[in-house]
Structure 1
Amino acid sequence: MKSFKNYKSFLILLTAAFSFMSCDDSNNEQEEDVFAGCCSEEPVFGPNVDNLDQSQGEIIVYNLFTPNNDAYNDRFGIENIQLYENHIVSIYNIDDELIFESTDYGSSSDESFPTEPQGEFGVEGVPDGTYKYKIVVENEQVYMKSGTFCLFGNFSALDEQNFSDCTPSSQFDPTLTGN
């Protein structure tokens, strides 16, 4: 019986120690990097599948865009997706909440992400950061590709960001080159 009391006391002491160590110290808070993993080639919704005859044109995803209405990288770019009629493009925020979906991607500004108004400093109501995409043509057994991309509108912070792993549709974007 005495060993059970000692064991119980030990568990209480151990629980208290872990609770104390896990207390939040607001003086040591680190700022969240909203661009973490934004240009990763890794699929985010299961393995990518490509059984599609892409002889009409290869589907290419550009994973960085700068929506400032300057005609360079203003929308999430998916080259040749419009050549495949039976497709669906879904965009999710970092918390996996669906924020955009289209079955006619790229046919108009209402069928391209983002649909919100663009200004000098990005998109109204759509914060800078990492987003997820999922593209399906026909069905998930024929073609399914997923990944992440960066929406970058805070152009004053360009020096602080490293987008060397990203592939924008236009390498001549003045926002990214500083020209």
Structure 2
Amino acid sequence: MQTSIMSIRLPSTTFTVRVCIRSIRQFSSSAPHSSKNRIYTPIRHPAALHETILLSTSSRTPLITYWSAGYCPPCKVISPILHQIISSDSPPCPADPANKVGFVEVEFDAPENMGSSLGMDFIISSLPTLVVFDRGEVVERETGVKNMSNEQWLREWIERQARRHGEGTGGGGTGQGLFGGLFGKL
């Protein structure tokens, strides 16, 4: 908790006010930089995921969510590769350095997440899973451990997501909108 003291002077009197500012931060992020991706604090509560999606939507930046759990061996192998690629100093899309992505790891086995409907809401049927949100909608997902374990494939996949640059499908035109491509193109 942070306390600030201010003096207020009116024509007839002066008084001092003590203001307590309570800040509850559900997440933090890396400092914004024109050529760097934004990395959010891991998600341990459903509300934090929804806030992060809103932040990426307002900044017109695609958000890559990495769904993992502590009991998942492939997750432990893929996570460092992903973090290394996302946090590297080079822009995700060298052809256009303005293109960048947001990244957050969703800790699926966190107590608050396990007791919620997050897995059902976003159709998470296996771990690890990568889900991309653009303008608040699910636009792509990847569940293939073989692909995710391949650093070159992963780097190209992230570059492709960065090129979206907030140009979502506006209603799931790719057939992967609200229902994650469950019904294909209509």
- Scaled by the length of structure 1, the TM-score of the pair is 0.22
Larger Rg: 1
- Scaled by the length of structure 2, the TM-score of the pair is 0.22
